[in-house]
């Protein structure tokens, strides 16, 4: 978004104003890039300046997205971007009400068994990746949170991992179990990281989330796990296994950094042990048990 280089394209006053509006509100760089991309796509569809759009243009754009097979998360991302653009940058709040949020099908998260998690961790290619995956599972961290951990974030006295600026730009503490601390100490003795706990190919930079994704996918395939696995699968498994062990769901909510309990509650749908341990009311209906009939003489 910088115009300091000679090859950079000039930025229109409207785009510059939107970037300034997002900067003032502290939007992360990724969010800014996403919002700009969505408004750019709308502009291409419109064929003229986006601040001249009509309610019918907004309706037509969403219909066009649907016909092109754009998925609900992307459509809703465009709604958020266009609402910000119209309300904040263009001061046209009445236009935003013509955008519609698309309902998304609710899918249950993929969860690994504890045996599958163990196989995945043991097969990780080297102590750095084993430690990184152990953090994802042992503390339930998001992949971006794992990648951006610093050595100084390990608080072995309080047995917590400091997560700086996680999702929603919030700081929080993650779990640091004794076994996870051991794995991290093993990695530290071998890798001697200084700033970033998991440095990338350039030691001055942290490992990328793409690297972690690739390692998890490749390792899962190598050990014969046929489920669709990603680093986030380890976070899902962390929450589900805690729930199956009887951990209070509000404690899991804090560990995951969820702002709403409803988000955490979905793990109850995949916690199979919880369902197995529940006694069905059908089993209480003793009259349904077949009675033995004495044979006729």
Count other Cβ atoms within 10 Å, centred on residue 229: 20
Among the listed residues 142, 172, 236, 241, the single catalytic one is 142
Residue from 17, 150, 162, 258 carrying the catalytic annotation: 258
Catalytic residue among 235, 236, 269, 273: 235
| 267 belongs to the catalytic site | yes
Collapsing DSSP states into helix, strand and coil, what is residue 53? coil
Q: Which of 35, 129, 137, 267 is catalytic?
A: 267
End-to-end CA distance of the chain: 94
Q: Which residue has the tokens 């910000």?
A: 84
232 is an active site residue: yes
Known catalytic residue: 179?
no
142 tagged catalytic: yes
| Residues near 230 by beta carbon (within 8 Å), at least 6 away in sequence | 143, 213, 216, 217
Q: Is 168 left (phi over 0), alpha (psi -120 to 50) or beta?
A: left
For 185, phi and psi rounded to 5 degrees?
-65, -40
The answer to whether the CB of 50 falls within 8 A of the CB of 42 is yes
Beta-carbon contacts of 116 under 8 Å, excluding residues fewer than 6 positions away, are 225, 227
210: annotated active-site residue: no
Q: Which of 16, 167, 213, 266 is catalytic?
A: 167
> Could you tell me the CA-to-CA distances from 93 to 39, 46, 86, 99, 258 in Å, in that order?
16, 19, 6, 11, 30
Q: Is 258 assigned a catalytic role?
A: yes
Catalytic residue among 16, 17, 162, 232: 232
- Tell me which residues are annotated as active site: 142, 167, 232, 235, 258, 267
């Amino acid at each position: 978004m910088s115009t300091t280089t000679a090859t950079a394209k000039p930025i229109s006053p409207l785009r510059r104003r939107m970037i300034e509006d997002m900067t003032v509100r502290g939007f992360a760089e990724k969010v800014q890039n996403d919002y700009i991309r969505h408004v750019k796509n709308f502009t291409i569809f419109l064929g003229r300046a986006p601040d001249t759009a009509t309610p019918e243009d907004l309706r037509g754009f969403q219909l066009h997205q649907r016909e092109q097979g754009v998925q609900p998360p992307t459509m809703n991302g465009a709604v958020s971007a266009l609402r910000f653009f119209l309300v904040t940058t263009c001061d046209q709040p009445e236009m935003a009400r013509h955008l519609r949020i698309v309902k998304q099908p609710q899918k249950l998260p993929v969860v690994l068994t504890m045996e599958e998690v163990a196989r995945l961790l043991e097969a990780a290619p080297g102590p750095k990746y084993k430690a990184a995956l152990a953090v994802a599972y042992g503390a339930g961290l998001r992949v971006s949170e794992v990648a951006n951990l610093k050595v100084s974030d390990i608080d072995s006295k309080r047995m917590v991992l400091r997560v700086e600026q996680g999702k929603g730009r919030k700081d929080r503490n993650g779990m640091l179990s004794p076994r996870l601390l051991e794995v991290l100490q093993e990695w530290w003795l071998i890798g001697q990281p200084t700033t970033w706990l998991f440095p990338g190919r350039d030691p001055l930079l942290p490992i990328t989330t793409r690297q972690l994704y690739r390692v998890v996918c490749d390792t899962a395939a190598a050990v014969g796990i046929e489920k669709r696995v990603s680093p986030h699968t380890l976070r899902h498994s962390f929450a589900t296994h805690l729930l199956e062990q009887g951990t209070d769901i509000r404690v899991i909510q804090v560990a995951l950094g969820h702002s709403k309990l409803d988000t955490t509650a979905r793990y109850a749908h995949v916690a199979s042990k919880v369902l197995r341990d529940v006694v069905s009311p059908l089993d209480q209906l003793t009259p349904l048990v077949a009675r033995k009939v004495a044979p006729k003489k």
